[in-house]
Amino acid sequence: MTTTHILGFPRVGDKRQLKFALEKYWRGEISQQALKDTGSTIRAVNWQTQADANLSYVTSGDFAWYDHVLTTSLLLGNVPERHQSERITLDTLFRVGRGRSQSDCGCGAAASDMTKWFNTNYHYLVPEFKADTQFSIQWSQLFEETKQAMEAGHSVKPVLLGPLSYLYLGKEVETGFDRLSLLPRLITAYQQIFTKLENLGVEWIQVDEPILALELDKEWRSAFKLAYQMLGSKTKVLLTTYFDSINHHLDEITQLEVDGLHVDVSQNQNCLDEIIEKLPTDWVLSVGAINGRNVWRADLAQWLDILTPVQQQLGERLWVASSCSLLHSPVDLELETQLSAETKSWFAFAKQKVDEVSLLGQALAGSTTAIAACREYSEPLRARAQSNLIHKTHIQQKVKALVSGSSERAAPFAERIAAQAEYLKLPLLPTTTIGSFPQTADIRLQRSAYRQGKLGETEYNQALKGHIEDAIRRQEAIDLDVLVHGEAERNDMVEYFAELLSGFETTQFGWVQSYGSRCVKPAIVVADIERERAMTVEWTRFAQSLTSKHMKGMLTGPVTILCWTFPREDISRQQIAQQLALALKEEVSDLQQAGINIIQIDEPAIREGLPLKKSEQAEYLDWAVNAFKLSASSALPQTQIHTHMCYSEFNEIIESVAALDADVITIETSRSNMELLNAFEEFAYPNEIGPGVYDIHSPNVPSTEWIKNLIKKAAEQIPIERLWVNPDCGLKTRGWEETEKSLTNMVTATKELRKEYTK
């Protein structure tokens, strides 16, 4: 029998049960026990899903109340001093993730820094390290949940973030030391964790070391050998990597004292030959064939052909698995009642991917029934490949003609900024927001009623106009300089455009966790993309008619739409981005004609799309930058193009950020205390910048002094005449009360500083 397993299962529940329970708990509407009961139910269902599919192991330790890296920090007792108390509790975890307001204890404390998990749209809480950081087991969640799964009768494989990846993904919060120096101390804590798992009767531990997919320097590579020598686990260790090949580190990996290796081959099975050749004879090889990051059905017939000779060579040492945790997939395709039978036959969500792993394992074990089922399972993919969904010739020709021409703006920045200053007449330190305003209960109820046919289109549009006018009046009262319409009509910054562009499918329950209780519902690219009508013009024109202040048009950029949807796998990501850029270019033209002369094209995901290996990044950055520039190329000199980026560590891509040639870039910087601006100072970024002056992911209301200090810190690095003032990100998830208080403080701080800087 071929051993089968997955690396993790979605933790939010098939209908986002965890999200709703978390938010109720944070609002004080349910008890902590009720919250824990919800988590327990989700875990039990997840384990039973894996057991029902006859996987060899169910995975424990993949559940997190906010983020699995944060869970690891609590397990190790590594809690920032500002959030420490006598003992670590669930509320400690939430304070680290969300911050602590003045009302909690009379002393506010910022949430920990949050950034993207490799090249995904998942966010993790960045561990913080000091020279005297100590590690010891202080949070028992991993052991309690592993014991619960075992008591339920399951064969259990716990998952744990590895020590080197934990250190690498963190940051030093004091100068003068290297966090790698903490490794011996950290390994001691990991030895204690392994011992506790061994005492529970665990046979295998899945130790995730995803940084092995990166191109690590010698110091970090050498640290792996030391770490795994010191661990000396009696329980078997499956060293787990994902998101890219690890062949460049293979000689060093195969020297480690572990018992098996998991590799992600979902996008590149060609790396298998070398891995098999160098695999120690007593190791198992877990092959991640089932793609955990996309929703397309696996071609099981093809994988059976690829892995059969591997199975013949390795025998029982071959394991079959998902490529990575299924955290990055929606939960259950069976819930999708509005997709056609043909369309559903193309897809597999997490629950279906579990079945794919199981079926492929059975086929490799020699089951003739499973072999036939694999062949039959792949037929819809074969049929789709022969359908007319592949290429619309006229779109390809339009894209080819535009890409071969120039995507540059009509004038260089120096000329554009002069034209914009004359036309827009904005004050020093212009204030604005990133785009969205609170999606209130009324907005959500009206949208739901409209989708269910309970509210007519005319009535729904009138309701939306009311919300837009309300947002504008509030902004005018706060006295912001550049207004936005608030995006009441948008369910999501990507899904909204996916529903209006041809070539996409959207889902009802295709939710994927982004962080904490925040979930997104990525659309799926199924065909060539085309703009059939204007998407934002009507709403933006209406908003502009209500105010004499400048209204900012809001678009989501081509690379972000690409990264935050599930892409096709039959054409390149570059081709998809070019099709999106063409559609957005047409939208920019229509917004200009409607009198909108400030247009924001958001690209928060541009760094997220980077290949993990630096040697492969230049090609991506080239076409990603060109896609953005193509989308903005129809803008006239007096039209000011903004872009927004969040959780982007800019240092390594600053030249490409500058090459976007946006007139204004707004970025998230408050959690890092403006540290991200160092990249812009050292590079001498030429255009205008709006560093975020407060963290919208925390419910805390920033004080006027806090904001003034951040603006002053930004002014030390960026000339004051090139600075904008804005929040870190959109305000969709916040409430109006905290939003208005925060923005009022932001405007007050800005006005006070204008007086200081113009004396």
519 is an annotated ligand-binding site residue: yes
One-letter amino acid identity for 547? T
Contact 96, 80 (CB under 8 A): yes
Between CA 52 and CA 311 the distance in angstroms is 24
Between CA 747 and CA 741 the distance in angstroms is 10
Helix (H) or strand (E) holding 260: strand 260-264
CA dihedral defined by 237, 122, 189, 131, rounded to 10 degrees?
140
DSSP code for 759: -
221 CB burial (10 A radius; 0-12, 13-18, 19+): middle
Contact 256, 232 (CB under 8 A): no
623 is an annotated ligand-binding site residue: no
Between CA 372 and CA 374 the distance in angstroms is 5
Q: Tell me the helices (H) and strands (E) count for the chain, helix number first.
A: 29, 22
729 is an annotated ligand-binding site residue: yes
487 is an annotated ligand-binding site residue: yes
436 is an annotated ligand-binding site residue: yes
434 is an annotated ligand-binding site residue: yes
707 is an annotated ligand-binding site residue: no
C-alpha to C-alpha distances, 534 to 465, 561, 585, 595, nearest whole angstrom: 18, 17, 11, 14
DSSP output for 142-198: HHHHHHHHHHTT--EEEEEE-HHHHHHTSEESSSS--GGGGHHHHHHHHHHHHHHHH
Between CA 739 and CA 118 the distance in angstroms is 31
Contact 597, 638 (CB under 8 A): yes
608 is an annotated ligand-binding site residue: yes
Between CA 264 and CA 267 the distance in angstroms is 8
552 is an annotated ligand-binding site residue: no
* Close Cβ partners of 759 (under 8 Å, ≥ 6 residues apart): none
* Close Cβ partners of 182 (under 8 Å, ≥ 6 residues apart): 129, 133, 135, 167
Bridge partners for 319 per DSSP = 3, 286
Give residue 518's region: left, alpha or beta (phi > 0; psi -120 to 50): beta
Torsion sign over Cα 367, 369, 375, 379:
negative
One-letter amino acid identity for 617? Q
Give the tokens for residue 503: 């070539």
121 is an annotated ligand-binding site residue: yes
Contact 348, 298 (CB under 8 A): yes
Which residue in 308, 315, 306, 243 sits closest to 279, CA to CA?
Answer: 315
Active-site annotation, residues: 697
Phi, psi angle pair for 307, to nearest 5°: -90, -15
Binding-site residue set for L-homocysteine = 434-436, 487, 602
Binding-site residue set = 19, 116, 121, 434-436, 487, 518-519, 564, 602, 608, 644, 646, 668, 729
Binding-site residue set for Zn(2+) = 644, 646, 668, 729
Binding-site residue set for L-methionine = 434-436, 487, 602
